[in-house]
Amino acid sequence: MDFLTILQILDSTVRLATPLLLACLAGLWSERAGIFDIGLEGKMLAAAFFSAAVAFASGSVWVGLLAGIGASVFLSGLHGMASITFRGNQLISGVAINFLAAGLTVVIAQTWFQQGGRTPALTGDARFGNVVLPGAESTIRGIAQQGPLGQIYSELISGHSILVYIALLIVPLTWWALFRTRFGLRLRAVGENPAAVDTAGISVVGLRYAAVVIAGVLCGLAGAYLATALNAGFVKDMSAGRGFIALAALIFAKWRPWYALSACLLFGFFDAVGNRFQNIESTVLLPSFFTAAWAAIAFFAAYKLYLLLAKSADLRELKPVGIAAGSVVALQILMHLVGEFIVPVQFMQALPYILVVIVLAGLVGKAIPPRAGGEPYVKER
């Protein structure tokens, strides 16, 4: 595997991680305020349809983007009304939004365009193009003739949709807003102890609605990216579980923005590998997998040991490292006993979902959500 191929995989990683990152940050804003949002999938799907449909009808991708954000914010408002105003079950409300979006997008698409529940292909100004940065090459031949630094700049940094760069900028903006501003302090306090915030004379309902609306905007960006940048139109169920993967990434990141970026890039990497390497021989794929796996285990082991030396962790937190190392050793032994074999395409495509199961099984360590998460707040009389 040459250097340019590695860069192409990393380039695909960034593209595929972008909708996950936006949805993950949406869940982070909502859950930091104490509102669990299972409806990320549905809001992404609704935003994807309306952004593609309106972009095709108007011929402007920016109008489509606004329509997608509007659809997502509308569903967020429904979720907020059910969860905050009427104090309903937040999980049931989120699931209902998923069902609503999955059904309505297909019905409206079939009624509107009569193409089997999809929109016509988007072309020209109706979809986001790639942004070529100054000094970057835009052709494969031109990139191949550059040196390593030029290839990194032209292949990995340049050539993405503007929504990719916006998503990456939202990460430090989210960190700053949540951890360096008065608004962020109050919002995080609402997710931990809403009664204390209410006692201080601050509106718990207002802060939670603000968080839900921000989550709707971010889900709108994620859905619009799927339909108008990553793809050229809407198809049925095109979110393909990305909202649930974003929730798993949020748990993996332990509700922190920078960790969310790392977690989404990891999921995006598995997705990129699954798309590029299909029906590949084990002698080609697994050595690279083992190298990457041992590097990741060594990194996390060093990080956990650092925490131990800093007296902010205990020996139990080394358990996930041991489990991961044992799994890799067992896989190497199994490969030695079985010999060469073909890795099936179905396994490669399932890699992101396998990682979700690993995350939700608790093998990444203990993740503690906001203490008031999922609980409606009843103002004391």
pTM, rounded to two decimals: 0.84
pLDDT at 370: 87
Task: Kindly write down the DSSP assignment for every residue of 267-310, as one continuous string.
Answer: HHHHHHHHHH--SEEHHHHHHHHHHHHHHHHHHHHHHHHHHHHT
pLDDT tens per residue, range 194-216: 988 988 889 999 999 999 999 99
The set of residues, in sequence order, having a beta carbon less than 8 Å from that of 76 and lying 6+ positions away, is 43, 212, 213, 215, 216, 219
Q: What is the pLDDT of residue 332?
A: 66
369 contacts: CB under 8 Å, gap ≥ 6: 31, 36, 255
The tens digit of pLDDT for each residue in 61-115 reads: 999 999 999 999 999 999 999 999 998 899 999 999 999 999 999 999 999 998 8
| Domains by residue range for the chain, with CATH | 14-279+344-360 (1.10.3470)
Q: Mean pLDDT, 10 residues at a time, over the chain (381 residues)? A: 78 92 95 93 96 94 96 95 91 93 93 90 91 80 79 86 95 95 94 90 92 96 95 91 90 88 86 71 58 65 68 61 68 65 67 70 68 80 58
The predicted pLDDT at position 320 comes to: 64
